[in-house]
Amino acid sequence: MKQIKIKPSTCALIAGAFAIAGALSGPRVATAAEVVSYQLDVKPILDSRCVSCHSPGGEGYQASGLDLSTYKGLMAGTKHGPIIVPGEPLVSNLNVLVEGRAQVQMPHNQRPLLAAQTGILREWVKQGAKDN
C-alpha cells in the first residue's frame, strides 16, 4: 500500500472546511439528556440582554412590572400575568417575544437575540423552567 503525503497547509484547509461546515449546520440545541440550567445558561442571557430594562427602575419594569433580575421576578411575570408556562415554550410569552412571534419583539429597539440564545430559553421552558 502506497503512503500518501499531505502538506501541512492542506491539512489546515481540510480542518478549516470541517469547522466551517459545523458552524453552518446551525446552533446546537440541547439533547433530551442535557439539562438547561437557569443559573448557568438562562440567567447570563437575561443579564446581558434584558435586565437593564426589566429590573426595578428600568423602563421595561416601569411599563410592565417585569423584573428579570431574579428567578422569582421572572416567574412572577408582569402586572398582566405570567410570562412563563413551564413545559410550554410555544405559549410562554417570554419565548413569543424573544422569538419575534408577536408585534413587539424583545429586546425592544435592539438587535434580536441570537438563535442559540432563543434556543436555550425555549429548551429551558420546555424542560419545566426550573430554578437550577
Does the pTM surpass 0.85? The reply is no
Q: What is the pLDDT of residues 79-113, one digit of tens each?
A: 999 999 999 999 999 999 999 999 999 999 999 99
Q: Which of 89, 109, 111 is nearest to 101 (CA)?
A: 89
The predicted structure's pLDDT at residue 17: 47
Q: Which of 108, 88, 51, 68 is nearest to 98 (CA)?
A: 108
Mapped onto helix, strand or coil, the DSSP state of residue 11 is: helix
Q: Which amino acid is at 59?
A: E
- Quickly state the pLDDT bin for 116 (edges 50, 70, 90): very high
Residue 40's beta-bridge partner residues? none
Q: What is the pLDDT of residues 38-59, one digit of tens each?
A: 999 999 999 999 999 999 999 9
In the chain, domain spans: 33-126
Mapped onto helix, strand or coil, the DSSP state of residue 56 is: coil
